[in-house]
Chains A and B, each alone.
Chain A
Amino acid sequence: MTDPKSTDVVDSLSTDAVNPAVGDDIEDVTGTGGRPAIIADATTGHGTVPVQTRNERFASVDVADFPAVTGREAVWKLTPVADLQQLIEGDLDGGRYQADTAVDGGAEVSWVGRDDERIGTAGIPEDRAAANAWSSFDEAMLIRLTSEEGGSVTVRRSELGDAPRAAHTIVDVARFARGVVVLDNAGPAHLAENVEIRVADGADVTVVSVQDWADGAKHVANHFAQVGRDARLKHVVVSLGGDVVRVNPSVTLAGAGADGELLGVYFADAGQHLESQVFLFHQGDHTKGRVEYRGALQGAGAHTVWVGDVLIGPDATGTDSYEQNRNLVLSDGTRADSIPNLEIETGDIAGAGHASATGRFDDEQLFYLQARGIPEDQARRLVVRGFLSSIVQKIGVPELEQRLQDAIEAELAGARS
């Protein structure tokens, strides 16, 4: 239960700093504790969601332990489950798949069997699709970062094909190792997968998952991360292409002084469903968490879902946590669900807060740019690009940042569907 002392919590960040690009029609949710579970919806108003303490959810690696999905469950209620039937219930091909890997510096990529001792150490599925993937994979891809000098791995998957498949990936970062792992997804896919991220004490890693799938792709992923003492994880979810894409990161800041920066950026076009249910668990003391997701929606039926659960556990004294989600609505007929949820089980924290806003274009920004001679359509693109760029700029991998900026630019120009 939420500790009553949580009302004493000081908001460590000013909510004024939130992006003014989100202007009119704003659904603003800000606060510093308790359980404000609110759906900010650009088209249909808002409602309240029942909440259970986040780390008490049922978890199992066996798909048979989960009842059939009805679509009414808390974890599925905003997802078009009918489109994911095959991934939730069906048989999945769990064999090795074709991927192009680029490895540099202190890093290695290999395949390991289901009996590898690392499997299941970063997290356990909490929904049926994740469990289905877990029950189905034959081998896991193991990505290791081994050096204090740094290393990098890019895994590009672009030929997964339309057949339903399961995958399991382990990102294993050794003590004090540093590096970057990019999971770069394109092409057709019908994929359910789990990604385990183990960040040992003192390590520092950036893990980026790019979903730039082809039209028609369906992808459900759960990322589980355990971050050790004084270790740092920057986790980035970029969702641009695909029909239904749901990437849910669950990060546990386990060791004292662990640092988690969870970033996300998404751009939903007509008919696309892009979702991220984020869970950040402050388990160790003096842990620091920052969650920031931003999205743009354009075109009839574009739907995005962001759920941000932050749990500050009973031992997480001295914690500093802040989460926010901003959505920019560029046309009618879109829907952005944004649900921040902050639970605090200790009174002795440095700060915790959250903010959520979904709104339309800020006319003042448009006016300012136009008053400098910039034509309206170009000014609009500049503002949206700027809005999303503030996340992209934080990735810290220059080539990737440039590519993503270009991809966003293409989305804005309507060159992509």
Chain B
Amino acid sequence: MSTLAIRDLHVSIETEQGTKPILRGVDLTISTGETPAVMGPNGSGKSTLAYTIAGHPRYTVDSGSITLDGEDVLAMSVDERARAGLFLAMQYPVEIPGVTVSNFLRTAKTAIDGQAPAIRGWVKDVRGAMGDLRMDQAFAERNVNEGFSGGEKKRHEILQLELLKPRFAVLDETDSGLDVDALKIVSEGVNRAKSETDLGVLLITHYTRILRYIKPDFVHVFVNGRVAEEGGPELADRLEDEGYDRFLTAEATV
């Protein structure tokens, strides 16, 4: 079993108006096989947490720690983190013109495994995973995310998750922009990855919709850059009924 531990994490970004603190002391622990959900209103810092785990250069860690089985994740480069088993499914995946999906996937797989995958098995794996996600095989020869619809981009993220087989995946609003069919397909992909590899999933979402298909074992409510409340899956149901108003008013009166 592996554990990803986030301790008292403070993160800020540089803006034109100066340094802006976003995360104000986040504590969160996730072990392989677990699926905690992080829920919160727009702008509460969910993506910031996701990007900080992945090591995006825009975010500055002012204090606190992130460790993976005791190893200092913050000391690792972006690609080292990925090779250590961390995966971020992005809210807004990036287009890479001129780089085909198949070339990209093979290059990434080779980097993660430290050796090129055996060609036969790899081609079969890619085909199979694309089929499971109902992605047309033609996507393999298209350029990464270029001209993909919102839903296609999200499927492509999950395709990578299934093929690269990380230990922990942070899913940043993978549900947003998906219709109900796509949401089911994508959720099935995540559940497959969980059952096949004992993946730990940090499920970031604004809505409770995706929680119908991917069952969280824990819910962290994120408000204004920190965890405002924690609970079991039933907390998500309460948020479904009440929304985030309760937390927002509470913050406002502090």
With known contacts A372-B108, A374-B107, A367–B78 Cβ distance under 8 A:
yes
Q: Give the interface residue-count category, chain B.
A: 20 to 34
Q: Which residue of B lies closest to A18 (CB)?
A: B97
A363 touches B95 (CB 8 A): no
Q: Does A379 contact B (CB under 8 A)?
A: yes
Find chain A residues with CB under 8 A from B57 CB. Answer: 363, 367
Q: B86-107 interface mask toward A, CB cutoff 8 Å, 1 = contact, 0 = none?
A: 0110100111111100011001
B98/A379 in contact, CB under 8 A: no
A370 and B77 in contact, given A363-B57, A386-B143 (Cβ under 8 angstroms): yes
Instruction: Check if B99 sits within 8 Å of A374, measured CB to CB.
Output: no
Given A363-B57, A378-B107, A378-B111; A371-B97 close (CB under 8 Å): no
Once the chains bind, are B99 and A386 in contact (CB under 8 Å)?
A: yes
Closest to B90 in A: A368
Q: Give bound CA distance, A383 to B107, whole Å.
A: 12
B99 touches A382 (CB 8 A): yes
Given contact pairs A363-B57, A379-B79, A382-B99, A374 touches B111 in the complex (Cβ within 8 A): yes
- Complex contact A371–B88 (CB within 8 A): yes
In the bound complex, do residue B160 and residue A372 qualify as a contact, i.e. CB atoms below 8 Å apart?
Answer: yes
Interface membership of B7, Cβ < 8 A: no
The 8 A CB mask of A153-186 against B (1 = contact, 0 = none) is 0000000000000000000000000000000000
Q: At the interface, yes or no: A52 with Cβ under 8 Å from chain B?
A: no
| Residues on B with beta carbons closer than 8 Å to the beta carbon of A21 | 96-98
Please, how many angstroms separate the alpha-carbon atoms of A263 and B83 in the complex? Answer: 39
* Nearest A-chain residue to B112, judged by Cβ: A373
Give A372 to B82 CA distance when docked, in angstroms: 6
A374, B79: Cα distance in complex, Å: 6
Inter-chain contacts of A393 with B (CB < 8 A): 98
Complex Cα distance, B112 from A378, in Å, reads 13
Please give the distance in Å from B58's CB to the nearest CB on chain A.
8
Expressed in whole angstroms, the Cα–Cα distance for A115 and B103 within the complex equals 53
Chain A residues within an 8 Å CB radius of B104: 369, 372, 382
Q: Which residue of B lies closest to A362 (CB)?
A: B94
Task: Give Cα A393 to B98, complex, Å.
Answer: 8
| Least distance between B183 CB and chain A CB atoms (Å) | 23
**A371-B54 contact in complex given A382-B99, A383-B99, C-beta closer than 8 Å:** yes
B111 touches A386 (CB 8 A): no
Q: A389 and B77: CB pair below 8 A?
A: no
Chain A residues with Cβ below 8 Å from B77 are 370, 376
**Is A20 among interface residues, defined by CB-CB distance under 8 A?**
yes
A residues contacting the other copy or chain, number (CB 8 A): 27
* Residues of B contacting A19 in the complex (Cβ-Cβ under 8 angstroms): 97
User: Is the CB–CB distance between B98 and A372 below 8 Å?
Assistant: no
Min CB–CB distance A405 → chain B (angstroms): 10
| Total A-B pairs, Cβ < 8 A | 89
Rounded to whole Å, the gap between the CB of B141 and the closest CB of chain A is: 10
Smallest beta-carbon distance B49→chain A, Å? 15
Residues of chain A lying within 8 A (CB to CB) of residue B93 = 368
Q: Name A373-417 residues within 8 Å CB distance of B.
A: 373-376, 378-379, 382-383, 385-390, 393
The reply to whether the CB of A364 lies closer than 8 angstroms to some CB of chain B is yes
What does the 1/0 interface line of B57-90 toward A look like (CB < 8 Å)? 1000000000000000000011101110001101
Q: Are B56 and A372 in contact (CB under 8 A)?
A: no
- Residues of B near A86 (CB, < 8 A) are none
**The one of B78, B95, B96, B99 that contacts A371, using a Cβ cutoff of 8 Å:** B78
B210 partner residues in chain A, CB cutoff 8 A: none
* A19, closest chain B residue (CB): B97
Q: Once the chains bind, are A390 and B79 in contact (CB under 8 Å)? A: no
Residues of B within 8 A of A364 (CB): 94
- With both beta carbons as reference points, the residue of chain B lying nearest to A389 in the complex is identified as B98
Whether A372 lies near B112 (C-beta < 8 A) is: yes
Instruction: Tell me if B164 is interfacial: C-beta within 8 Å of chain A.
Output: yes
Whether B97 pairs with A375 at a CB distance below 8 angstroms is no
Bound-state CA distance A385–B107 (Å) is: 14
- Cα distance A385–B95 when bound, in Å? 14
Asked if A386 contacts B98 (CB within 8 A), the reply is yes
- Contact residues in A for B55 (Cβ distance below 8 Å): 370-371
Q: Which residue of A lies closest to B51 (CB)?
A: A367
CA distance A385 to B99 in the complex (A): 8
Among B78, B83, B103, find the residue whose CB has the most chain A CB atoms closer than 10 A. B78
On whether the beta carbons of B143 and A373 are closer than 8 Å, the reply is no
**Most chain A beta carbons < 10 A, residue from B55, B79, B111, B164:** B79
Inter-chain contact B111/A375, CB cutoff 8 Å: yes
Q: How far is the CA of A309 from the CA of B87 in the complex (A)?
A: 47
A135 part of interface (Cβ distance < 8 Å): no
CB contacts (< 8 Å) of B87 on chain A: these are 371
Contact B98 A376, beta carbon cutoff 8 Å: no
B165 to chain A, nearest CB (A): 11
Asked if A331 is an interface residue, CB under 8 A from chain B, the answer is no
B contact set with A: CB distance below 8 Å: 54-57, 77-79, 81-83, 87-88, 90, 93-99, 103-104, 107-108, 111-112, 143-144, 160, 164
Residues on A lying within 8 angstroms of B by beta carbon are 19-21, 363-365, 367-376, 378-379, 382-383, 385-390, 393
15 A/B residue pairs, CB under 8 Å, sorted by A: A19-B97, A367-B94, A368-B96, A369-B96, A369-B104, A369-B108, A371-B90, A372-B79, A372-B104, A372-B160, A374-B111, A382-B96, A386-B99, A386-B143, A390-B98
Q: A368-B144, A379-B79, A387-B97 are in contact. List 20 more A-B contacts (CB 8 A).
A: A19-B97, A365-B94, A365-B96, A367-B54, A370-B82, A371-B55, A371-B90, A372-B82, A372-B160, A373-B79, A373-B83, A373-B112, A374-B79, A374-B111, A375-B79, A382-B107, A383-B96, A386-B98, A386-B99, A386-B143
User: Sorted from nearest, which 10 A-B pairs have the closest CB atoms?
Assistant: A386-B98, A373-B82, A389-B98, A370-B78, A372-B108, A386-B99, A373-B111, A368-B94, A373-B112, A370-B79
